[in-house]
Each structure stands twice: as C-alpha cells, then as structure tokens.
C-alpha cells in the first residue's frame, strides 16, 4: 500500500495557508504546517503545527527529511523544492507553479542568477505582488496534485466529507 497523501507547508512566508486548509479539508488530507514561530491555525484534527528552532534552513530541513512520494510540499524556497523532488514528493509554489524534475534545474539556475544580480546591485526590487490570479492558480495546482496522487493509489487518510 502506498503512503497516504500529506501536505507539508513551509509556513513562515506562505500567503496561501488558508487555501491549503480549505482544499485539504475537502479531501481529508493531513496538513503539517512548519514554521520558526507560533502561527495561528484552525483547530482541526487534520492540521498539525510544528514549530522548529530558529536558524537558517531549520524548517526546510525538517520538511525535506519528511518529503516522500505522496507528500505535497508548498514552498517558494527553490533549494527545498529540489530536495523535495529528489525525495519523490510533489512541490508547488504559492503562485501555483508546479515544479518537476525537468523544471528544477532552470529554477535553480534562475535563483542563482537573481542572487548574483541582487548582490551586484543590478536588481533592487522584489518579486511582483501576490495576485488573485496566483491564488487561483495555486488552488487549481493543489487540487490537481491531490487528485493525481489519489488516482495513483495514495489514500487521503481521512474519509471525504
């Protein structure tokens, strides 16, 4: 039997936590919210809070060690995406970007280039503002990932409501 579906949320700067909770509740999927500090969460038995110690990549390390086939990792952190995909997990950005083994190389290269350009002072602005279209794309991507994993035989762990 395949492992049940679980959603692992890199929560410290995640703008789509409420959307994750809504989709996860519809399918009865366990959600683990990982952060460096206390975050208010709904009191639902399928949502688990994990607070890790402060420090560089501590939350990412916690998530990466639990990434596996049947897990869906929600993060904007490209190195964490790479580690998650390498472990067989799915990875989705809050803007709805679905990462794959074939796209992660370009994402890593782009991240490195942007880091170099920022440190050289060539780019001084941040990313574009999060939009309704991003939120909608995320909802579609997460729903699609859960449906695909269910079709592949991964149980949700909870009965659907």
CA atoms of 82 and 46, how far apart (whole Å): 26
Q: Which architecture characterizes domain 6-151 according to CATH? A: 3-Layer(aba) Sandwich (3.40)
Tally of residues, the chain: 161
Q: What is the pTM of this model?
A: 0.85
CA atoms of 63 and 73, how far apart (whole Å): 8
pLDDT tier, 159 (very low <50, low <70, confident <90, very high otherwise): very low
H or E stretch at 92: strand 90-92
How confident is the model over 131-139, as a mean pLDDT?
94
Cα→Cα distances 143→8, 29, 40, 115, 153, Å: 15, 11, 24, 32, 16
Of 11-25, 64-78, 95-109, 130-144, which gets the smallest average pLDDT? Answer: 95-109
- What would the pLDDT profile of 66-110 be if each residue is shown by its tens digit? 999 999 999 988 899 999 999 999 999 999 999 987 776 565 556
Cα R_g (the chain), whole angstroms = 16
Q: What percent of the chain has pLDDT over 70?
A: 84
User: Own/partner pairs for 130-134, CB < 8 Å, 24+ apart?
Assistant: 130/15, 130/94, 130/95, 134/94, 134/95, 134/96
Each domain of the chain, given as residue ranges in start order, spans 6-151
């Amino acid at each position: 039997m395949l492992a049940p579906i679980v959603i692992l949320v890199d929560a410290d700067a995640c703008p789509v936590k409420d959307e994750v909770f809504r989709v996860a509740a519809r399918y009865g999927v366990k959600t683990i919210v990982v952060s460096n500090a206390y975050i208010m969460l709904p009191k639902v038995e399928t949502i688990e809070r994990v607070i890790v110690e402060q420090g560089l990549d501590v939350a990412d390390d916690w998530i990466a060690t639990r990434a596996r086939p049947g897990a869906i990792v929600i993060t904007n952190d490209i190195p964490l995406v790479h580690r998650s995909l390498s472990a067989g997990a799915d990875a989705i950005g809050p803007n709805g970007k679905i990462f794959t083994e074939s796209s992660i190389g370009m994402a890593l290269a782009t991240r490195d280039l942007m880091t170099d350009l920022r440190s050289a002072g060539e780019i001084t602005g941040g990313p574009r503002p999060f939009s309704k279209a991003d939120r909608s794309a995320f909802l579609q991507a997460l729903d699609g990932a859960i449906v695909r994993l269910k079709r592949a035989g991964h149980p949700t762990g909870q009965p659907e409501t």
